[in-house]
Each structure stands twice: as structure tokens, then as C-alpha cells.
Amino acid sequence: MRFNKNLLILLCFPILLVFGCATTQQRIPTDMASVQPGTQVVFKGKPIHLLGSPIMVGRPLPSVELVNAMTMSNVNLSKERGSVLLLSIVPSLDTPVCEAQTHYLGEAGNGIPKNIRRIVISRDTPFAQKRFAKEAKLTNLEYLSDYKQGDFARSSGLLTEGLMLFARSVIVVDKQGIVQYIQVVPEMSHLPDLDKALAKAKELTGEGS
């Protein structure tokens, strides 16, 4: 995958300094560990507190509305039933780590059961999400925006203090709407363990290996 470096830098500014948007040629580390929602993450050693009410395994998602980037309709994930939800939560799509995370999710489609919904959530505007999806050729994913007040981020304990963006996370929700897996990446410049999340999602469909 090739990128225009100058264009990428322009797209990333002004959060260039925050998320390390210098190059996509370096290998991005993957974190296997997780921290609890509502605690703190770090960016290159600098602590960042997480605001809001922590979500927990065994409980439903918070009942708040997100905006579907393609239809501009409101979506309340706490009311969704019948499919396993794999939520890939990123700070901003126009950064290399978030882009890599989303490409991984989108390009893992061949082995994904149809009743797993792959959903990308960020605080980018719906218009930015839609542009990203088309430019990255990743329109096979669902994109939900929390751009208004950050209600979903705050209601899940994933809102970063100061930045007011999401902490990088992955959440898996079963067919009954109950959270069964959470990873909040301890270091924001690292990728989540999407292989583990995908395996959990497949397990919940009854099609895991």
C-alpha cells in the first residue's frame, strides 16, 4: 500500500504531533495487553486520563446515539440484536495507526462470518469518515461518528482528557447485545490485537476455530 507522504502530513495536521504521523514505513507495534476503561492510557510514556463511565464485560453498551456516516441516520448500538458486533474504535482515521487498524479490519473480510458486523467508530465527522472509506476503498465496513458531544466515548469511559478523542480500543458484543470482550490499547501509538478480537467474534457466532 503506497501513500503520498506530503498529502498524508497535510491530512494529519494538526494532530500530527499527537499520534506520530511521520511515516507509514515503520512497523507499528501491536499491544496484546489492555487497560480498563475509565483509567488511563499513555502516548509515548505520557499519561492520558480516560473520562466517563467505564463499560464492562457482561453488560450492554451505553444507550446513546451515533451517526451513520453513509446514511446520516442515528444508530443506538445498545438496541442492535441478532449479529455479533466487532467495534474498532480509533482516535482519528486520518492518522497512520488508525488507517492501518481500519485496513486490517476491512481486509480481513474473506474469513469473517456474515453475521459479524465490522464497525469503525471515531469522533471524526461523518463526512470525513465517508471520504476516508471511499479513498481507502474500505466501504465494506460500517462507520459511526461520535462527533457531536462525544456521548458514546464518555458513556464508555473511553474519552481522552484534553484531546477529547477516543482511546484506541476494540469491543466485541454478542447477539444479545452484551459486551463480551474489551481491549483498550495501553499505548495509543500501537495497534490493538485484532486477531484476538476477531477470534472472539467468530467464537460468539459459533463459527470459531
Per the structure, the complete domain to which residue 126 belongs is given by 29-205
User: What total of structural domains would you count in the chain?
Assistant: 1
pLDDT tens-digit profile of 113-165? Answer: 889 999 999 999 999 999 999 999 999 999 999 999 999 999 999 999 999 99
Task: Let me know if residue 11 belongs to a domain.
Answer: no
pLDDT of 10 > 50? The answer is no
Residue 13 backbone phi and psi in degrees, to 5: -65, 135
pLDDT tens-digit profile of 82-116? Answer: 999 999 999 999 999 999 999 999 998 667 888 99
Amino acid 111: pLDDT: 73
Task: Let me know if residue 70 belongs to a domain.
Answer: yes
Task: Let me know if residue 118 belongs to a domain.
Answer: yes
Task: Let me know if residue 18 belongs to a domain.
Answer: no
Task: Let me know if residue 119 belongs to a domain.
Answer: yes
Instruction: Give the residue among 5, 198, 6 at the shortest CA–CA distance from 208.
Output: 198
Residue 165 backbone phi and psi in degrees, to 5: -115, 170
What is the CATH classification number for the domain harbouring 36? 3.40.30.10
Amino acid 43: pLDDT: 85
Q: CA 201 to CA 83: how far, in whole Å?
A: 10
Amino acid 8: pLDDT: 33
Amino acid 22: pLDDT: 35
Do residues 170 and 88 make contact, with C-beta atoms less than 8 angstroms apart? yes
**Three-class SS state of 126:** helix
CA atoms within 13 A on the CB side of 149: 6
Amino acid 41: pLDDT: 98
Query: Taking the complete model, does pTM exceed 0.75, yes or no?
Result: yes
Task: Let me know if residue 79 belongs to a domain.
Answer: yes
Q: Which residues contact 194 (CB under 8 A, 6 or more apart)?
A: 88, 101, 104, 105, 108, 170
Task: Let me know if residue 53 belongs to a domain.
Answer: yes
Task: Let me know if residue 20 belongs to a domain.
Answer: no
Of residues 64, 98, 173, 182, which has the active-site annotation?
98
Please indicate whether residue 21 is annotated as part of the active site.
no
